[in-house]
Every structure is written in structure tokens, then in C-alpha cells.
């Protein structure tokens, strides 16, 4: 029987009683499977902050250990009836926290956080969740074992902080380690390099871990559990009658995730698309007793009557404009700029050029640094650099977008009617997505206008 990989994220682990919901879902599957867990909600951010504090003051190590222990203790007391299991689990948690404290002591004494240590420290959010969940399931008499990525090993390309899984090198290891007729709980968010060093899979990377394991196992499906109703036609907070999308193609899901729909991490689709493993998205808050998905992402590409399936946005596409009379024609300008940004670890989300301007779309956290880097290159072709942060990128997504005339026209007419100015439009780069930028203040009105035009 093929395995199912199910992933539970930080949003499923906010309150101490949330674990009971997870247990109910896992019981409803009633079959051997692989479960991937994230850290408890907010814990990764907390660990990041603590690393900095620990560097300055050793007493912060104790503080962090207490904080983590109390948090887990609450969850443990809430979820175990049996005192013996409570003590046993608390003891296990305590020794994992102690392991973590050794790394923290190290960074305090050297006064720095080497990349390879940072990745280990941040993996502890997930290691603690997986330990606690395993123990809770075991206490209920379920046949469960924790499986750590380093025990498989799940091998990555070795890039600290943002690694990519090497499927060829990992598949047999994963199949072998997870071959038993039982449930395995795996901490998400990391794999290990060829040399055995822990490498994180990027922020929010547990979805990607789960996808990678599903791919290695040739799983029946990847089931991602959320606390919302799957993919919607728009953010329910912004429009009057949001509609649930029952089916999406891989490309549609990838573009929606890239442009801000926070249902899946943008990298989740990539390992599964090539091999056709479907992604099922479930809502843990509306779960009764069936593991029926709310949205299915699969290979079938359906073109609906209104073409557009969803309109989404991201506030994390900032624009760096490099102006100069001949930047478009002059050879090597773009190459020099992109090499400099790449060396500084800055990702370019999109490039749109013309004869007199190169527009780079960058994450908000990188824009100031990128400005300085380009300025320091001192390229004579670039006469002015402008950074624009207060913009939002809106994407309309649907199969058939480029094939049917009039869709873009309807989008932009609906905005014009509301007096919304569009700063830039990109169409044709993706067969299923058209995106454009508006002033941040116009974002909500723009989404509502488009949604009303296509869905109401
Ligand atoms: N805990 C990690 C993060 O916050 C990974 C994840 O949540 O998927 O980035
Ligand atoms: Mg997450």
C-alpha cells in the first residue's frame, strides 16, 4: 500500500489543546503514514530572537530553556491523562532542550552564530514538536515512531538556511527508514548535507520537507492541514463572497503561492508536479470525522468559464528601478547587477526591463541593501536608482488566461472604474498568471473590484 504524507504546521499548533485535534485527524486516517510537523506557532521567530540575546548575555540561555520547558509542559499536562507518560515525556523534552542549550552556550562564548550552528539551533522548534506529538500518540496505544531527517538521511545540496533536497540521493534512504507498517513522525524544516550538517529548507519550509518526503516515498498524496478552508477565490477578509476552489492545477497552485496565497509554501509544488503526486488541503477547524480535502492540487488543468480561479496579492514585492538612457541596450549592465545581488544572497523575484529602465522586484527585507550594492557598483549606464516600497503586487491566476481574449481587459477595466492606477503590468511570463502593481493603499479596493467582476 502506498503511503500518505500528512503535514501539520505552526497554525495547527497554536494552543495547547490543538494537539487533540491533530490526534483526532491522525486517528481518522486509520492507516500507516508519515506525519511531518512544524514548530509550535511563533517558536522559530522566538529562537531567532533568542540567538541574538544569548550572544549578549548568558542568562538568556536559562530564560529560553525555561520558556520552552513551560510551553511544552503545558501541552504535555493538557494532553496526557497518565502521570507516568507525563513524566516520561517531560524528561525527554528536557533532554532535547539541554542539547539545544549546549549550542547556545557555544554561540555565547564565541560571540557569533556560524551558519551551520544557526541551522541546528533553529531546527529545535521542529524537534520539540515531533518529540511531543510522538509521545502523545504512543500514549494512546498507536504504533508510532519518531524519525529524524539525519537518521534517513534526507540529503540536501548543503546550502545553509535555504537548502534544496537531493531526491536521487535521498529516495532510497527515506524509503528504507520509513518502511515499517506504522506511523512515523518527522520534524519538518531541515535535511542534512552530504557531510551530515543540518541544513534548513528556508523559512516556512516544513511544507517543502513534507513534499520532499512524499516524493521520495512515491506517496499516494501529500495532505497539508491548515486552519482555513483551502484555496479561495480571494482573501476572505477582503471580499464579500469568497468561493472555495475545489481543484487547482500544479501551475495554478504554484503561482498563487508565489504571489502571496499563504496556503502552501511556494516550493511545495515543485517536487510533486514532476511525478504527479496530488496535494490535498484539509481544514482542521472544520474537521468532523472525514479526511476529505477542501482543495485538491493535481495535474489536471481545467479551464473554467470565467478563466480566473483566484486573485491574490503580496506586499513583499518591492521595486528597484535602475534608470539610464541606455540600460536596455548596453551590454553587461543586468549581468553586473544580478551577480552583485546574488553574491550578497539577495533573491530577485522578477526582472522587467525596457530601453531606459531595469525594474527589479525584490523582497522588502532586501531592498535597502540592494540599493546600496547597486549604487556602489558605480555603473555609468545607471544614472538614477529609485526604490519603491509602498506597493502591492496583485496576481490573477487561472488556466487558459493567455488563450482567451478579453480577460485582462476585464481585469483592468474593473480597476479603471474604481479610479485605481496600475503602476506596471506583467502578462505572458506565465501561462496561468498575470500580475500588476498598485499603490499599497489601493490594494484592498483593487482585489474587491476584480473579485466582484469575475465572481459576483
Ligand atoms: N518553523 C519553520 C518556520 O517558521 C518552518 C515552518 O513553519 O514550516 O519557518
Ligand atoms: Mg509554517
pLDDT digits (tens, 9 = 90+) for 295-342: 999 999 999 999 999 999 999 999 999 999 888 888 899 999 999 999
3 state DSSP class of 281? strand
- Nearest Cα to Cα of residue 116 among 158, 74, 164: 158
Backbone angles phi, psi at 179, to 5 degrees: -85, -15
Which ligand 1 atom lies nearest to the CA of residue 45?
A: 4
Q: For residue 427, what pLDDT is reported?
A: 86
Of 7, 205, 265, the one to substitute when testing ligand 1's pocket (max ligand atoms within 8 A of C-beta) is 205
For ligand 1, whether the C-beta of 293 sits within 6 Å is no
Dig out the grid coordinates for 141 from the structure: 496505544
Distance 38 CA to ligand 2 centre (A): 6
The confidence band for 228, taking pLDDT boundaries of 50, 70 and 90, is very high
Exposure string of 218-230, with b = 16+ CB inside 10 Å and e = fewer, is ebbbbbbbbebbb
Give the length of the chain.
456
Ligand 1 centre and the CA of 49: distance in Å? 14
241: pLDDT strictly greater than 90: yes
Measured in Å, residue 364 CA sits from the centre of ligand 1 at: 19
Ligand 1 near 436 CB (within 6 A): no
The per-residue pLDDT for 329 is 83
Q: Domain spanning 310-455 has what CATH number?
A: 3.30.2130.10
Closest ligand 1 atom to 205 CA: 8
Burial classification of residue 175, based on how many CB atoms lie within 10 Å of its CB (0-12 exposed, 13-18 middle, 19 or more buried): middle
CA distances from 229 to 232, 289, 329, 337 (A): 7, 16, 48, 42
Write down the H helix ranges in 30-82.
43-56, 59-79
Distance CA 205, CA 165 (A): 11
At residue 405, the pLDDT reads: 87
Rounded to 5 degrees, φ, ψ at 384 are -150, 140
207 contacts 7 by C-beta, under 8 angstroms? yes
Residue 187 Cβ contacting ligand 1 at under 6 Å = no
pTM of the model: 0.93
Comparison of pLDDT for 32 and 456, the residue scoring more: 32
- What share of the chain in percent tops pLDDT 70? 100
Query: Is any atom of ligand 1 closer than 6 Å to the C-beta of 24?
Result: no
CA 45 / ligand 1 centre spacing (Å): 9
Q: Is the CB of 268 under 6 A from ligand 1?
A: no
| Separation CA 62–CA 104 (nearest Å) | 10
* Mutation probe of ligand 1 site: the residue of 48, 149, 203 with most atoms within 8 A of C-beta: 203
* Helices marked H in 111-153: 115-122, 124-139
CATH topology of domain 4-219: Carbamate kinase (3.40.1160)
Domain edges within the chain: 4-219, 310-455
Residue 388: what pLDDT?
92
Is any ligand 1 atom within 6 A of the Cβ of residue 184?
no
CA distance 456 to 450: 10
Three-state DSSP string of 219-233: CCEEEEEECCCCCEC
C-alpha cell of residue 275: 511525478
Mutate to test the pocket of ligand 1, among 123, 125, 161, 222 (most ligand atoms within 8 A of CB): 125
Count the neighbouring beta carbons within 10 Å of the beta carbon of residue 246: 12
Among all bound ligands, the one having the nearest atom to the CA of 264 is: 2
For ligand 1, say whether the CB of 130 is within 6 Å of any of its atoms.
Answer: no
Amino acid at each position: 500500500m502506498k503511503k500518505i504524507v500528512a503535514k501539520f504546521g505552526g497554525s495547527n499548533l497554536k494552543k495547547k489543546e490543538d494537539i487533540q485535534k491533530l490526534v483526532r485527524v491522525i486517528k481518522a486516517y486509520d492507516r500507516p503514514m508519515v506525519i511531518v510537523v512544524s514548530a509550535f506557532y511563533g517558536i522559530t521567530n522566538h529562537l531567532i530572537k533568542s540567538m541574538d540575546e544569548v550572544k549578549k548575555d548568558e542568562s538568556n540561555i536559562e530564560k529560553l530553556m525555561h520558556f520552552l520547558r513551560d510551553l511544552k509542559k503545558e501541552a504535555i499536562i493538557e494532553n496526557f491523562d497518565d502521570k507516568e507518560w507525563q513524566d516520561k515525556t517531560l524528561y525527554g523534552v528536557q533532554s532535547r532542550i539541554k542539547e539545544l542549550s549546549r549550542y547556545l552556550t557555544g554561540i555565547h562564548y564565541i560571540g557569533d552564530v556560524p551558519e551551520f550552528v544557526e541551522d541546528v539551533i533553529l531546527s529545535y522548534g521542529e524537534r520539540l514538536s515531533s518529540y511531543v506529538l510522538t509521545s502523545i500518540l504512543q500514549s494512546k496505544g498507536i504504533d508510532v515512531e519518531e524519525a529524524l531527517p539525519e537518521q534517513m538521511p534526507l540529503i540536501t545540496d548543503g546550502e545553509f538556511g535555504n537548502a534544496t533536497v537531493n531526491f536521487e540521493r535521498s529516495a532510497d534512504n527515506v524509503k528504507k527508514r520509513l518502511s515499517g507498517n506504522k506511523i512515523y513522525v518527522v520534524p519538518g524544516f531541515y535535511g542534512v548535507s552530504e557531510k551530515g550538517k543540518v541544513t534548513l529548507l528556508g523559512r516556512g519550509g516544513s511544507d517543502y520537507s513534507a513534499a520532499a518526503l512524499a516524493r521520495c516515498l512515491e506517496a499516494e498524496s501529500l495532505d497539508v492541514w491548515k486552519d482555513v478552508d483551502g484555496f479561495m477565490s480571494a482573501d476572505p477578509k477582503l471580499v464579500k463572497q469568497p468561493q472555495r476552489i475545489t481543484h487547482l492545477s500544479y501551475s495554478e497552485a504554484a503561482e498563487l503561492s508565489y504571489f502571496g496565497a499563504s496556503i502552501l509554501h511556494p516550493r511545495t509544488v515543485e517536487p510533486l508536479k514532476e511525478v504527479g503526486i496530488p496535494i490535498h488541503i484539509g481544514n482542521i477547524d472544520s474537521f468532523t470525522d472525514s479526511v476529505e480535502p477542501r482543495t485538491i492540487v493535481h495535474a489536471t488543468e481545467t479551464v473554467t468559464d470565467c478563466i480566473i480561479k483566484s486573485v491574490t496579492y503580496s506586499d513583499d514585492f518591492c521595486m528597484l528601478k535602475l534608470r539610464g538612457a541606455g540600460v536596455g541596450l548596453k551590454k553587461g549592465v543586468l549581468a553586473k547587477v544580478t551577480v552583485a545581488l546574488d553574491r550578497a544572497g539577495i533573491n530577485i523575484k522578477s526582472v522587467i526591463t525596457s530601453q531606459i529602465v531595469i525594474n527589479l522586484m525584490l523582497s522588502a527585507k532586501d531592498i535597502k541593501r540592494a540599493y546600496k550594492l547597486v549604487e556602489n557598483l558605480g555603473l555609468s549606464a545607471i544614472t538614477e536608482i529609485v526604490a519603491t516600497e509602498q506597493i502591492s503586487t496583485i496576481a490573477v491566476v487561472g488556466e487558459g488566461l493567455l488563450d482567451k481574449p478579453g480577460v485582462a481587459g476585464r481585469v483592468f477595466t474593473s480597476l479603471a472604474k474604481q479610479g485605481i492606477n496600475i503602476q506596471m503590468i506583467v502578462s505572458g511570463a506565465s501561462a496561468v498568471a498575470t500580475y500588476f502593481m498598485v499603490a499599497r493603499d489601493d490594494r484592498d479596493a483593487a482585489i474587491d473590484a476584480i473579485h466582484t467582476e469575475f465572481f459576483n
